[in-house]
């Protein structure tokens, strides 16, 4: 994700489960949020758009909010929120973002690898969820990351950052991971099979099976983690 942009996507799928919707939804819709930070037109941003397109083609509705246009201060660690009903001392755009994360059923975190970690903007958003962190629960998580390095292990610590947050979310379930290696220049990922992989991962939300799609991919293979049940692709 880019430092400049932090995108949040909200998707809704027709489903029998009760809805937590912010967009004129009903009990027939299940809320799905996608949250990422990436430069506009950057490789992570492009993959997120493909993920979104797949989800839309599967019947979901989506909302994309560019956090580059929002104000999110870093957490002060003052714990004002603990004595004020989850209200934060910082009066900025994070309250709206956090409410959408609470309402979501699925959260997608995406960021380019920055010094073996995630972008500062995404980390600020994650840290600010502390105000109401117990309300962010029972989420399905997907992770997308991109990097210039061609060694897939270089993304491990970035994924650890994503998983570190998910470990703090009660009932969190990791559902899918996509890592695109060897993409440095903005737009370079367009010429890789990661585009199709992001699309198919979005399309499989809530019931789809990634192994149904592997035959259509030019390179790579989805592998299921036997411990988490999540599907992983390293391009």
Model pLDDT for residues 72-119, shown as the tens digit of each residue: 999 999 999 999 999 999 999 999 999 998 988 888 898 999 999 998
Label residues 111-142 b or e (16+ Cβ within 10 Å = b): bbbbeeebbebbbbbbbbbbbbbeebeebbbb
The pLDDT score that the predictor gives to residue 46 is 93
Better-scored residue on pLDDT, 214 or 59:
59
CB-facing half-sphere around the CA of 211: CA atoms within 13 A: 5
Say if 47 falls within a structural domain. yes
The model's pLDDT over 21-75, given as tens digits with 9 standing for 90+, comes to: 222 222 233 455 555 555 678 899 899 899 989 988 988 766 666 676 779 999 9
Better-scored residue on pLDDT, 156 or 17:
156
Within 8 A by CB and 6+ apart from 72, the residues are 6, 92, 93, 94, 97, 121, 124, 125, 128
**CA gap 128, 94 in Å, rounded:** 7
Say if 117 falls within a structural domain. yes
Q: Residue 77 — left, alpha, or beta (φ > 0 → left; ψ -120 to 50 → alpha)? A: left
Say if 1 falls within a structural domain. no
Provide the domain count of the chain: 1
Question: What's the mean per-residue pLDDT of the chain?
Answer: 77
pLDDT at 1 over 60: no
CATH of the domain at 222: 3.40.50.360
> Across the chain, how many H-helices and E-strands are there?
5, 8
Residue 77 belongs to what domain range?
6-234
Report the percentage of the chain scoring pLDDT > 90.
Answer: 52
User: Nearest-CA neighbor of 2 among 101, 146, 141?
Assistant: 146
């Amino acid at each position: 994700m880019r430092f400049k942009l932090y995108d949040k996507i909200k998707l809704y799928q027709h489903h029998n489960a009760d809805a937590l919707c912010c967009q004129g939804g009903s009990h027939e819709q299940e809320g799905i949020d996608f949250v990422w930070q990436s430069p506009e037109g950057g490789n992570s941003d492009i993959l997120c758009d493909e993920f979104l397109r797949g989800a839309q083609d599967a019947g979901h509705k989506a909302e994309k909010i560019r956090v580059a246009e929002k104000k999110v201060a870093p957490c002060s660690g003052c714990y004002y929120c603990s004595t004020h009903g989850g209200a934060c001392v910082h009066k900025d755009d994070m309250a709206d973002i956090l409410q959408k994360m609470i309402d979501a059923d699925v959260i997608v975190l995406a960021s380019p690898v920055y010094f073996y970690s995630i972008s500062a903007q995404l980390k600020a958003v994650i840290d600010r969820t502390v105000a109401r962190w117990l309300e962010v629960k029972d989420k399905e998580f997907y992770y997308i990351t991109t990097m210039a390095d061609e060694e897939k292990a270089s993304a491990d610590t970035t994924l650890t950052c994503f998983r570190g947050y998910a470990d703090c979310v009660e009932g969190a379930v990791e559902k899918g991971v996509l890592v695109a290696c060897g993409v440095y220049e903005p737009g370079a990922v367009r010429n890789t099979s990661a585009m199709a992989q992001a699309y198919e991962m979005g399309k499989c939300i809530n019931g789809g099976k990634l192994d149904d799609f592997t035959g259509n991919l030019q390179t790579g293979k989805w592998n299921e983690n036997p411990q988490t049940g999540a599907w992983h692709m390293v391009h």
